[in-house]
Amino acid sequence: MTQALKPEHSHPGATQALSLSTIAFTVCFAVWTIFSIIGIRIKDELGLTETEFGLLIGMPILTGSLVRMLLGIWTDRYGGRLVYTMTMLAAAVATFLLAFATTYGEMLVAALGVGLAGGSFAVGVAYVSRFYATARQGTALGIFGVGNVGAAVTKFVAPFVMIAWGWQSVALIWAAALVVMAVVFWLATEDDPVIRERRRTGAGQVRSFAAEFAPLKDLRVWRFSLYYFFAFGAFVALALWLPRYLIGVYGFDIATAGIVGAAYSIPASIFRAYGGVLSDRYGARAVMYAMFLVAAAVTSLLGLPDYSLGLVAGEDAMAYAIGPAVFIVLVFILGFVMSLGKAAVYKHIPVYYPQNVGAVGGLVGMIGGLGGFVLPFAFGVLRDVTGQWTSCFMLLFLIVAASLAWMHLAIRNIERAPALAPAAE
């Protein structure tokens, strides 16, 4: 039914739905990554280890990942306007309560609630895609994904708010922003074309959960999920971990580390829209190959072991194979290709699974988001165990290599059986 309702061009109201969904996702993403800044102050106040810090900053990512598939299905069934609004309000309550947490345990629990903001991605994908024809969905979803720039908003603004008024004020202000955005979104948007058609005809209002989950049996869905585990999960992990890395390795102060982290997040977010355009124009397969090849080269360089060749600023007084200027350039390149890859992954989903965008997009988003939870925790464990700051990039290289190998083998199989080749590729 979803596919039948898509005309050659976008539906009326598509631009407004896309614009407000993107702004709302920006606010949600800013809240979702709030611990990348306030977590550093909390770490100092509570005397946390690197592993405990990694768990704290990853907790919101865990919740935001696990709820994505459920929120995506609810969006397919009840519409994005309602689900998006309720998700923002629920996350706002948790973010408000975070300001009153005093122990590590309380902060972990509050962080789980804050993570609901990250689930908004699955809602937005299912909602926005219904306004656009297949040929334009890559661009539309790429633009929507620019909301990742919310991570940069947090890194630019939160350090100065925290220095002036404390980390609790950051939580209160971010919660208020969510409430305002939820109200604006509800008042200024309309239901998607599928929901409106269901109400008009009274047909096909509820599908069984078995039908919703049926595509998840397809191995291809899990392959896309691995791609997104790196393209999005590693992006989120680095957005959270980068300020701590810059402070520990190069001795940056928290404001400078936050600004550099924000500068990384901006191109890694804005160019997602360009990734959608490239995927529509040249195919998602070509974009994915480019991302993985460049990412493999960059992570192999950044993963070079620490070298004791002299003294630099930093808590370990170690010298590193790559200086701060070169490091920043390489990380920016990595963020850029990640942004293209994020869009390319989601180009496939409405094409392959037009009836199950919420469920499939939710699962892929969930696995990708879990990368944002698992990887910061893994970074902290690797740092504690190996003593190597660069061990985080060694891990990312292994993920890229595995993803590239699986993709290449799958494409070789498709080439042997051309009937299996999708329109998206």
Task: Quick: pLDDT tens for 254-277.
Answer: 788 878 877 777 776 678 778 878
| Owner of token pair 């345990």 | 105
3-class SS of residue 99: coil
Establish if 423 belongs to a structural domain: no
Residues 6+ apart with CB under 8 A from 297: none
Quick one: pLDDT at residue 204? 55
Establish if 208 belongs to a structural domain: no
Does the pLDDT of residue 7 top 70, yes or no?
no
Quick one: pLDDT at residue 54? 78
Using pLDDT thresholds of 50, 70 and 90, give the confidence band for residue 191.
confident
Does the pLDDT of residue 25 top 70, yes or no?
yes
Quick one: pLDDT at residue 202? 66
Copy the structure tokens of residue 261. Answer: 């982290």
Using pLDDT thresholds of 50, 70 and 90, give the confidence band for residue 4.
very low
Establish if 200 belongs to a structural domain: no
CB atoms < 10 A from the CB of 304, how many? 14
Using pLDDT thresholds of 50, 70 and 90, give the confidence band for residue 317.
very low
| Owner of token pair 């592993």 | 51
Using pLDDT thresholds of 50, 70 and 90, give the confidence band for residue 151.
confident
Does the pLDDT of residue 213 top 70, yes or no?
no
| Amino acid symbol at 224 | F
Across 78-92, 106-120, 360-374, 398-412, least confident range: 360-374
Distance, C-alpha 390 to centroid of its chain:
22
Does the pLDDT of residue 1 top 80, yes or no?
no
Count of domains for the chain: 1
Most confident of 147-151, 174-178, 225-229, 252-256: 174-178
Q: In this structure, is the dihedral angle defined by the CA atoms of residues 191, 197, 201 and 202, taken in order, positive or negative?
A: negative
Reported residue count of the chain is 425
User: How many C-alpha atoms does 120 have within 13 Å on its Cβ side?
Assistant: 39
Alpha-carbon distance 91 to 150, whole Å? Answer: 15
**Helices H / strands E in the chain, number of each:** 19, 0
Residue pair 63/118 in contact (Cβ under 8 Å)? The answer is yes
Alpha-carbon distance 409 to 1, whole Å? Answer: 33
Give me the mean pLDDT over the 54-59 stretch.
Answer: 84
Average pLDDT in the chain: 82
Does the pLDDT of residue 206 top 70, yes or no?
no
Residues 6+ apart with CB under 8 A from 135: 8, 280
Give the CATH number for residue 140: 1.20.1250.20
Does the pLDDT of residue 228 top 60, yes or no?
yes
Alpha-carbon distance 189 to 307, whole Å? Answer: 55
3-class SS of residue 141: helix
Strands (E) located in 40-129:
none
pTM, two decimals, is 0.70
Using pLDDT thresholds of 50, 70 and 90, give the confidence band for residue 84.
very high
Domain range for 111 is 16-193+218-416
Across 16-20, 204-208, 273-277, least confident range: 204-208
| Amino acid symbol at 109 | V
Does the pLDDT of residue 420 top 60, yes or no?
no
Alpha-carbon distance 101 to 169, whole Å? Answer: 12
Closest CA to 50 of 191, 245, 205: 245
Q: What is the pLDDT of residues 339-383, one digit of tens each?
A: 888 888 877 777 777 766 667 777 787 888 788 788 888 888 888
Copy the structure tokens of residue 377. Answer: 């925790």
Alpha-carbon distance 47 to 24, whole Å? Answer: 35
Does the pLDDT of residue 114 top 90, yes or no?
yes
Closest CA to 388 of 304, 324, 322: 304
Copy the structure tokens of residue 425. Answer: 């590729």
Alpha-carbon distance 99 to 171, whole Å? Answer: 6
Give me the mean pLDDT over the 331-337 stretch.
Answer: 90
Closest CA to 339 of 287, 286, 406: 287
* Torsion from C-alpha of 133, 138, 142, 145, nearest 10 degrees: 80
Does the pLDDT of residue 47 top 80, yes or no?
yes
Residue pair 71/122 in contact (Cβ under 8 Å)? The answer is yes
Closest CA to 261 of 158, 338, 173: 158
Distance, C-alpha 220 to centroid of its chain:
20
Residue pair 84/188 in contact (Cβ under 8 Å)? The answer is no
Establish if 10 belongs to a structural domain: no
Using pLDDT thresholds of 50, 70 and 90, give the confidence band for residue 52.
confident
| Amino acid symbol at 188 | A
Quick one: pLDDT at residue 94? 94
